[in-house]
Chains A and B, each alone.
Chain A
Amino acid sequence: MKSIAELEKIQRESLTKVNIRRIKQGKNTIGSEESFNTEDGVRSHVLVCAGTGCTSSKSLEILKKLEKEIEKYNLKDEIKIVKTGCFGFCEAGPIIVVYPEGTFYSHIKVEDVEKITEEHLLNGNIVKDLLFKGSIKEDEIVPINEVDFYKKQKRMALRNCGLINPEDVKEYIALDGYKALAKALSEMTPEEVIEEVKNSGLRGRGGGGFPTGLKWGFTANAVDDEKYVACNADEGDPGAFMDRSILEGDPHSLIEAMAIAGYAVGAELGYVYVRAEYPIAVERLQIAIDQAREIELLGKNIFGTDFNFDMEIRLGAGAFVCGEETALINSIEGKRGMPRPRPPFPANKGIFNKPTLLNNVETYANVPEIILKGAEWFANIGTERSKGTKVFALGGKINNTGLLEVPMGTTLRDVIYEVGGGIPKNKDFKAVQTGGPSGGCIPSDYLDTAIDYDNLIELGSMMGSGGMIVMDEDNCMVDIARFFLDFTVEESCGKCTPCREGTKRMLELLDKITSGEGEMEDIDKLESLANTIKSSSLCGLGQTAPNPVLSTLKYFRHEYEAHVKEKTCPAGNCQDLLTYFITDGCKGCTLCAKACPVNAISGKTKTQHIINTEICIKCGACMEKCPFDAIIKK
C-alpha cells in the first residue's frame, strides 16, 4: 500500500461490510451517521464461531449446512454467513450470532440449522428454544453484548474476536485496522512511539509484567546492524488459550502491532513463535500474513515510507520451557530449547545474537489501540500500577468456562461470580488457581482482592499468562499441587540441578503424602526444598515451580496435615486414602457385588450390602454400577 489515502479508501468501502454487526455493538467511534450504511440488500449477518472449541464440536459442519440452507431458500443476496474466531464463551459452543439483532444461539447442533433458517432468517421469528438461556431477561430477549458473561467485560485485546472474519483483511481495516501503523509511520518518530507505549503503562501479558515501553526502549537503544522483533505465542500454561484466540480471531492486530514495534526499535523482520499444538491459529496467521503482503502492508516501503517489514512463523515442538524468552530464542535458532543465563538480555543479544524485542501476543494486541487512542486513554483504565485490561481463561469448576477480558482491578469475586456465573451444582468455592504452573492457589478469604500484577504476587500467586482455574470442595489441594509439580518435573529442561532434581524430590514427597505414607517432617522438608529451588534455579520455570506447593501450604496446611496425621483426604479425592461404604440407601439389588472384581461385597438380595475394606481395591466399579447412589467414598 503506497499511501494512507488508499487505506482510508478501503476502510470506507469495507465499513458497509461490517456495519450490520457494529450497530448493536455500539462501536460507533468513527465516521458519520451516513457511514453506517450497510451493503445493498443485505439484511442479516449470521456469525458462526470457528474457534478451536466450537470447531471441535462440529461448528464447521454447521457452517456448511447453513450455506446449503441459504442456497436452498435463495437467500444468498440477503444474508451473509461470516466465519469468525472464538467468541470466548466456549462453554456455550457451538455459537451462532445473528445480526443486526445480536441474537445469541448456543449449543447449536447441525440439526438445528434448518429451524434457524426457516423461522429466523426467512420469517424473522427468533427461535426461542435455541437461544442462549441467559439472553432471556425478564421475558425479553437481549442481544449478545448484554448477556451477563459479556456485560461486565471490557474487550480491548479481544476487541475483534468473534466480530470479524479473521481471514478477510478488509474487515479488520473496516474497524480501524492498520490505522495505528499508518499514524505511527506518518506522524510519529520511533522515539515518540516508544514514549507513547511507556506512558500508557502497558506491562507484559506473558507472565512477568515487565513494562513494555521500557523493553522497547532498551532494544531501540542497542546498536547493531540488524535487529529483530519476536512474538511469544508458545502459550504453555495448561488451561490458558487467550493467545490462541487472538491468533485465530484477530491475527491482523498482531501483524500491525509487530510492524509498529519494528518501526519503533529499528527491525525489519518479525518472528512469531507459535506452539505446534495450534494448527488453526497457525493457518489463520499465515493467511493474514499473506493478505497483508498482498496489499503491501508487509514488505518494502510500507505506506510509501522507507520502512520495510516482514514476518515469519516458527513452530514450537512441545516443550513448555520454550516459552521462556532465552529458550525460545535458542529454539528459533534451531537448537535445544534450553534457557541461557541472563545477562546478556535479548534486548542486547537475542535471536542470532542480534538485539531482539520479545513480547507476548496479548501485549502486542493492545498496542494498536494505544497508538490510535493515546497513552492517556489506556492509562485511565485499570489500577495504579497495572493499566488496561487482562484476558483470563476461566476454567475448572465454573459455570461459564471461557475467555473473558476485564479491566485490571476487577475483583476475583466479580470474575468468578458475575462473569463466570459461579460454581456448578451449588458446591462451595474453595480456591482459585492463577498463573498456571508458576502460580498459586488463592482461598476464599481473598476473593475481594482487586486483580493486578502486584496484588497477586503478594498473595503468593501471580498473574502469569491468565489461566484461572476454579476449585470447589471436591478438589484436594495437595493433589492439585502434585498435579502442577508433575507438570514441571516433566517440563524441566534439566540444565540446572535445583530444578531438575529438586522438583523430582518434591514430587516424591507429595506422592508419599497423597498415598498416606507421609510423615510430619515431610511437610517441613517440602517447604525447605521449595525455598531452595525458588532461590537457586536458573530460569523462571524453576524459580516459580514451587509456588503451587508453597501457596497451598500457606493457605491449606490443614489439608496436608490431615493426609499425614489422620491419613484421610478431606476432599475425598486421593484414592489411596479413601474407603468405600454402602449406605442405607442400598436396596440389595446385588449389582455392586456382581461388579466387584475382587468379590469384596457381600449381602443377601434385598438387604443392605457391605464392603469388606480389607479386600477392596478401590476401583470404584461398584459405585459406577449402583442405580441408587448408595455407595459413597470418604
Chain B
Amino acid sequence: MDKSYLSDENFKKLDKLIQSNKERKGALMPVLHEAQHIFGCLSLEVQQRISEKMKIPLSEIYGVVTFYSQFTLQPKGKYTIGVCLGTACYVRGSQAIIDKISEITGVEVGKTSKDGKFTLEATRCIGACGLAPVISINDEVYGKLTPDDIPGILEKY
C-alpha cells in the first residue's frame, strides 16, 4: 500500500500539534482528530509517534482509535460515498440506494475500491432528513434519491 502520507513534513506538523496541546487536559481526542486530518488516517506509525511524544502507552491509544468509528487505520478512497441509514432515510428506502451503488461500483459497504477511487460507507443520520434518502460524496450531499438517480450521480466522479 502507498505510504506516501507518512512524510517527514506530516510528522513535523504532528510534532508541532502535540507541542501546542501540551498544556491541555485530556488532549488525546483533539490530537487524534487533527492527526487524522494531517495524515488522512491513524495508522500504527502515526499512533506510535503520538504515543512517544504524549507519553501515553500505545495500547491505550490503539484502544481509543479503534473504539471510535470516525477514526480510521487505513487511508480512504479518493471519494467517500456515505449512504445515510438513519431512521428517516431508512424508512424512505436507503437500503435500495446502497445496493445500487454497490452494484455499480463493485465496492462492498465499509470497503475501498481496488483503484482507490471510492470508499463506500453506511453512515448514521447526517441531519438532512428532510431530503431523505440522502447520500454524501465527500462534502457534496444528494437528496430525495431513487436508485435510478445513482448512475447519473456516480458518472460525475
Residues of A contacting B70 in the complex (Cβ-Cβ under 8 angstroms): 276, 316-318
Whether A238 lies near B141 (C-beta < 8 A) is: no
* Minimal Cβ-Cβ distance residue in B for A55: B141
The interface bits of chain A over 305-342 (1 if a CB of B lies within 8 angstroms of the residue's CB, else 0) are 00000000011111110000000000111111110000
Measured between beta carbons, the chain A residues less than 8 angstroms from B143 are 56-57
Q: Which residue of A lies closest to B125 (CB)?
A: A238
Query: From A400, which residue of chain B is reached at the shortest CB distance?
Result: B130
With an 8 A cutoff between CB atoms, is B152 at the interface? Answer: no
Q: Judging by beta carbons under 8 Å apart, are B129 and A277 in contact?
A: no
The A-contacting residues of B in range 113-154, CB under 8 angstroms, are 123-132, 134, 141, 143, 147-148
Complex CA gap A332/B27 in Å reads 8
Q: Determine the chain A residues whose CB is within 8 A of the CB of B44 once the complex forms.
A: none
Most buried by B among A238, A337, A624: A238
What's the Cα separation between A244 and B64 when bound, in Å? 25
Q: Report yes or no: A471 in contact with B32, Cβ–Cβ below 8 A.
A: no
CB of A469 within 8 Å of the partner chain: yes
Partner of A396, one of B91, B125, B127: B91
The residue that A335 contacts in the complex, of B64, B86, B128, B148, with Cβ under 8 A, is B64
Q: Does B102 touch A at the CB level, under 8 Å?
A: no
Interface residues of A in 392-408 (CB under 8 A from B): 393, 395-397, 401-402
Pairwise interchain contact A334-B126, C-beta atoms closer than 8 A = no
**A241 CB–B CB distance under 8 Å:** yes
Contacts of B32 in A (CB 8 A): 317
CA–CA, A483 and B64, complex, Å: 27
Minimum Cβ distance to chain A for residue B128 (Å) = 5
Known contacts: A56-B143, A277-B127. The answer to whether A334 contacts B69 by CB under 8 A is no
Closest to B142 in A: A56
Interface status of B87 (Cβ within 8 A of chain A): yes
In the bound complex, do residue A53 and residue B127 qualify as a contact, i.e. CB atoms below 8 Å apart?
A: yes
In the complex formed, the residue of A with least CB distance to B88 is: A395
CA A240 to CA B88, docked complex, whole Å? 10
| B125–A239 CB distance below 8 A | yes
Q: A393 touching B64 by the CB < 8 A rule?
A: no
- Pick from A90, A336, A401: contact of B63, CB below 8 A: A336
B30 CB within 8 Å of chain A = yes
Which residues on the B side are within 8 Å of A237 (C-beta)?
125
Looking across the interface, which residue of chain A has its beta carbon closest to that of B60?
Answer: A335
Contact B87 A238 (CB under 8 A): yes
A60-97 CB contacts (< 8 Å) to partner B: 90-91, 93
Known: A53-B130, A318-B68, A395-B129. A332 touches B87 (CB 8 A): no
By beta carbon, the residue of chain B nearest A54 is B130
* Residue from B64, B70, B87, B90 having most chain A Cβ neighbours under 10 A: B87
- A336 near B67: Cβ-Cβ < 8 Å: yes
Measured CA separation A333–B60 after assembly (Å): 13
> CA of A338 to CA of B63 in the docked complex: distance in angstroms?
11
In the complex, how many angstroms separate the beta carbon of B74 from the nearest chain A beta carbon? 16
Tell which of B30, B130, B143 has the most Cβ of chain A within 10 Å: B130
A518: B residues at CB distance < 8 A: none
* Cα distance, A277 to B29, chains bound together (Å): 15
Could you tell me if B129 and A90 are in contact, using CB atoms closer than 8 angstroms? Answer: yes
Assess the A90–B71 pair: CB atoms within 8 A: no
Does any Cβ of A come within 8 Å of B76's Cβ? Answer: no
B134:A483 contact, CB within 8 angstroms:
no
Q: Is A475 an interface residue (CB 8 A)?
A: yes
Q: How large is the interface on B (under 10, 10 to 19, 20 to 34, 35 or more residues)?
A: 35 or more
Using Cβ atoms and an 8 Å threshold, which residues of chain B touch A480? 91
Asked if A36 is at the interface of the complex by the 8 Å CB criterion, the answer is no
Of B27, B127, B132, B134, the contact of A244 (CB 8 Å cutoff): B127
Instruction: Flag if B29 contacts A471 (CB, 8 Å).
Output: no
Residue of B nearest to A401 (CB): B130
Total A-B pairs in contact (CB under 8 Å)? 124
A278 within 8 A of B: yes
Residues of the B chain whose Cβ atoms lie less than 8 Å from the Cβ of A332: 26, 29
* Residues B130 and A334 in contact, CB atoms below 8 Å apart: no
Chain A residues within an 8 Å CB radius of B125: 237-241
Interface pair A317/B87, CB less than 8 Å apart: no
Residue A352 CB within 8 A of the other chain: yes
Interface string of B46-62 (1 = CB under 8 A from A): 00000000000000000
A52 within 8 A of B: yes
Known: A238-B86, A317-B70. A52 touches B128 (CB 8 A): yes
Q: Contacts A53-B128, A56-B134, A239-B87 given: A314-B30 contact, CB under 8 Å?
A: yes
Judge whether B129 and A393 touch: CB under 8 Å. Answer: yes
Decide if B131 touches A469 in the complex (CB within 8 Å). no
Closest residue of chain A to B85 (Cβ to Cβ) is: A238
Q: Check if B127 sits within 8 Å of A52, measured CB to CB.
A: yes
- Chain B residue contacts of A436, Cβ below 8 A: 87
Are B25 and A352 within 8 A (Cβ)?
A: yes
**A401 touching B25, Cβ below 8 Å:** no
- The verdict on A467 contacting chain B, using a C-beta distance below 8 Å, is yes
Task: Find chain A residues with CB under 8 A from B63 CB.
Answer: 336
Question: Would you give the shortest CB distance from A81 to chain B, in whole angstroms?
Answer: 23
A165 located at the interface, meaning its Cβ lies under 8 Å from any Cβ of chain B in the complex: no
Q: Is B33 an interface residue (CB 8 A)?
A: yes
Inter-chain contacts of A389 with B (CB < 8 A): none
- Does B28 lie at the interface of the complex (its beta carbon under 8 Å from any beta carbon of A)? yes
A612 to B65, CA, bound (A): 51
In the complex, chain B residues whose CB is within 8 Å of the CB of A276: 33, 70
Return chain B residues, CB-CB under 8 Å to A493. 67
Known: A277-B124, A319-B67, A471-B91. A401 touches B129 (CB 8 A): yes
Contact of A317 among B71, B130, B132 (CB under 8 A): B71
A-B contact pairs, 24 of them (CB 8 A): A53-B128, A56-B134, A90-B131, A276-B33, A277-B124, A278-B127, A314-B26, A315-B30, A317-B29, A317-B70, A318-B124, A319-B67, A334-B26, A334-B64, A336-B67, A393-B129, A396-B92, A397-B91, A401-B132, A436-B87, A469-B87, A471-B91, A475-B91, A480-B91
Q: Which residues of A contact B (CB under 8 A)?
A: 52-53, 56-57, 90-91, 93, 236-241, 244, 276-278, 314-320, 331-338, 351-352, 393, 395-397, 401-402, 433, 436, 467, 469, 471, 475, 480, 483-484, 493, 624
Q: Assuming A53-B127, A53-B130, A239-B87, what are 17 further A-B pairs, CB within 8 angstroms?
A: A52-B126, A53-B131, A56-B128, A57-B131, A239-B88, A240-B125, A244-B127, A317-B71, A318-B68, A318-B124, A333-B25, A333-B26, A393-B129, A395-B88, A395-B91, A401-B88, A471-B91
Chain A to chain B: the 9 pairs with minimum beta-carbon distance, closest first:
A90-B130, A334-B28, A317-B68, A56-B141, A318-B70, A238-B86, A395-B88, A318-B69, A239-B87
